[in-house]
Amino acid sequence: MFFNRKRNKKKEEVEYLSKNIDKNINRLKEKFKDCSDLVTREFKLSKTHTRIFIFYIDGIVDKQVLQDNVLSNILINIRDCHDPVKIKEKCLIDTIKDYDLPLGEIGEVETIEDCVKKIVEGNTILFIDSTDLALCLSTIKPPGRTITQPVTESNIRGPFEGFTENLRANTSLIRKRLKSNNLKMENINAGKISRTNITICYLKHIVDDNLVKEVKKRLDKIEIDTIIDSGYIEHLIEDSPLSVFPQMVHTERPDTCTAALSEGRVVLLVDGSPFALIVPGVFIDFLTAPEDYYSKFYIATFVRMLRYTALFTSLITPGFYIALSTFHRAMIPTTLLIRISAAHAEVPFSATIEVLLMEMTFELLREAGLRLQKPIGSAVSIVGALVIGQGAVKAGLVSQEIVIIVALTGISSFAIPVYSMEISIRLLRFALIILSSMLGILGLVTGLMIIFIHLVSLRSFGVPYLSPLAPMNIRDWQDVFYKVPIWANKKRPTFINPKSKRKQKGNNMPKKTNNSINKV
């Protein structure tokens, strides 16, 4: 018989298991009505005829584990248990749990709702007649792909392992790199229907406790039916959801997460998503690539300066050209001005229309290249850009200078290593083009000031978005515009407020030796 008991807090009725196994089975089958992938199996003890039922969902359980460690042991070991006294005293369920099922995780459940939750997660539920408890057997093996190279973050040097959609595979990739008991991984569920598992990773002796509390607080406030990807979490817990700039770093690379954890940040892993979230995320994080830390410091500094140059080139070049050619022609050298004027004389549109036309065409080609199959996507983008650009010039729709400006802008945007920042810059570029076409240099400068004011006002989990530039902390600049050697980078960034400020002790600078190798 089912018992209706009330919880103290939520005042909800809880349906507890009954000692009558038929009622438990019928209630559970009712919950999974029209679910063709639900599998049930019944067993009976040879002498007492005690009934045993198992429930699981086909496709998300490890059938090999189920067969070797559950079914075979039930058939072989417990069929000879025939003492009615033991069954009456509920010793049978303890015997099965402790001696007959060699599984890593076995728990007890006492409500129908708990049984449903465990079954949909991939566990196997075992019912025994005359017992108001059920056993939860860990047989989870969700389908997924193997560990492969990251798709969206290509690298030249460094690890080639990338996250997958399997949460436990992702946590193991981080555990492999951080072999410490200080690496904490806490699980929570989000999504009323999906019940998606989210793992909060942090290094206990380094991370700021207030940061961990804030992450948990925001995750607890999520009320949504389904969570399919980590992008859902990002949009639900970020500080300024209406901002065009990303406020959390998403990555497929375990080495990037490892470096972030070592600095004192928090990493969020979402079951079913190959992208991890790193919080807090500041502006400089989106212009840094993992290869910077695997290369010589002077090479990394040169490449990093190129990225900053590419960002400003991609953002302001079209607007700056429109402002000069439309409002401030006196600033253009005379020879170049004559050529630009002659080219525009044959074009029926203004410089603003030309730039917008070519920019939209370039964005369309880029999007088409992303959506097409990989072998032909890049070819279509390149060939399409060449053909359309040359055809537009010959048809007199745009000038050659506009094609050069748009091509330079597009190539510069590709140098931004994080896609979420790249798409933000591309959107803001259109806003600056419109302002420049209305007010010239004044409109361009006004747009840049608005963007800068917005960046200064942004926060990522309480951390200023432009740290360590604003508020200024020169000591942390060793990993912003330039990169110091690893042996000289002895302290963690202070704007994250880590518990442990130093990440290496002593002088690790390599020293020259006078030892010579004798050639034989």
The set of residues, in sequence order, having a beta carbon less than 8 Å from that of 63 and lying 6+ positions away, is none
Residue position matching structure tokens 């009725």? 13
* Separation between Cα atoms, residue 424 and residue 389, nearest integer Å: 25
3-state secondary structure of 51: strand
Helix and strand tally (H, E) in the chain? 17, 14
Domain shared by 304 and 439, yes or no = yes
**Strands annotated E in 148-234:** 183-190, 196-203
Closest CA relative to residue 14, chosen from 108, 107, 110, 119: 110
> How far is the first Cα of the chain from the last one, in angstroms, to the nearest whole number?
89
Asked, for residue 481, whether it belongs to a domain, the answer is no
Domain shared by 191 and 42, yes or no = no
Residue 231 — very low, low, confident or very high, per pLDDT cuts 50/70/90? very high
Structural contact between residues 16 and 115, judged by C-beta atoms closer than 8 angstroms: no
Domain shared by 45 and 21, yes or no = yes
Asked, for residue 489, whether it belongs to a domain, the answer is no
Asked, for residue 512, whether it belongs to a domain, the answer is no
Domain shared by 212 and 72, yes or no = no
Domain shared by 218 and 350, yes or no = no
Residue 509 — very low, low, confident or very high, per pLDDT cuts 50/70/90? confident
Domain boundary among 115, 137, 159: 137
Domain shared by 378 and 406, yes or no = yes
Asked, for residue 156, whether it belongs to a domain, the answer is no
As beta bridge partners, residue 42 has 53
Q: What local confidence, expressed as pLDDT, does residue 351 receive?
A: 87
Domain boundary among 93, 115, 137: 137
* Separation between Cα atoms, residue 77 and residue 80, nearest integer Å: 7
Structural contact between residues 49 and 55, judged by C-beta atoms closer than 8 angstroms: no
Higher per-residue confidence, 77 vs 312: 312
Residue 378, CA distances (Å) to 363, 372, 404 in order: 14, 9, 20
Residue position matching structure tokens 């999520």? 222
Helix (H), strand (E) at residue 43: strand 38-44
Asked, for residue 286, whether it belongs to a domain, the answer is no
Asked, for residue 105, whether it belongs to a domain, the answer is yes
* Mean local confidence (pLDDT), 11-16: 68
Domain shared by 209 and 321, yes or no = no
pLDDT value at 439 more than 60:
yes
For the stretch 295-338, pLDDT in tens is: 888 899 999 999 999 999 999 999 999 999 888 888 888 888 88
Domain shared by 406 and 376, yes or no = yes
Closest CA relative to residue 285, chosen from 113, 133, 467: 467
Asked, for residue 158, whether it belongs to a domain, the answer is no
Helix (H), strand (E) at residue 83: none
Residue 166, CA distances (Å) to 91, 197, 288, 385 in order: 37, 11, 27, 39
pLDDT value at 455 more than 70:
yes
Structural contact between residues 65 and 103, judged by C-beta atoms closer than 8 angstroms: yes
Residue position matching structure tokens 């010039």? 393
43-47, 146-150, 250-254, range with greatest mean pLDDT: 250-254
One-letter amino acid of 44: K
Establish how many alpha carbons lie within 13 A of residue 58's alpha carbon, considering only the half-sphere containing its beta carbon. Answer: 7
> Angle CA(183)–CA(187)–CA(192) in degrees, nearest 5?
160
Structural contact between residues 398 and 347, judged by C-beta atoms closer than 8 angstroms: yes
Asked, for residue 491, whether it belongs to a domain, the answer is no
Share of the chain above pLDDT 70, in %: 85
Residue 255 — very low, low, confident or very high, per pLDDT cuts 50/70/90? very high
Domain boundary among 137, 157, 180: 137
The set of residues, in sequence order, having a beta carbon less than 8 Å from that of 376 and lying 6+ positions away, is none
Domain shared by 98 and 203, yes or no = no
Domain shared by 320 and 407, yes or no = yes
Structural contact between residues 215 and 231, judged by C-beta atoms closer than 8 angstroms: no
Domain shared by 308 and 426, yes or no = yes
* Separation between Cα atoms, residue 56 and residue 37, nearest integer Å: 8
Domain shared by 378 and 418, yes or no = yes
* Separation between Cα atoms, residue 508 and residue 490, nearest integer Å: 9
* Mean local confidence (pLDDT), 134-154: 81
Alpha helices in 45-166, H assignment, sequence order: 63-65, 72-76, 84-88, 91-95, 112-121
Tokens standing for residue 256: 């990037």
Number of domains the chain contains = 3
Residue 77 — very low, low, confident or very high, per pLDDT cuts 50/70/90? low
For the four alpha carbons of 173, 179, 183 and 184, in that order, the dihedral sign comes to positive
Minimum mean pLDDT range among 133-137, 143-147, 285-289, 395-399: 143-147
Q: What local confidence, expressed as pLDDT, does residue 3 receive?
A: 38
Residue 14, CA distances (Å) to 7, 55, 132 in order: 7, 21, 14
For the stretch 386-399, pLDDT in tens is: 677 777 777 778 88
Structural contact between residues 358 and 402, judged by C-beta atoms closer than 8 angstroms: yes
Domain that holds residue 315: 294-464
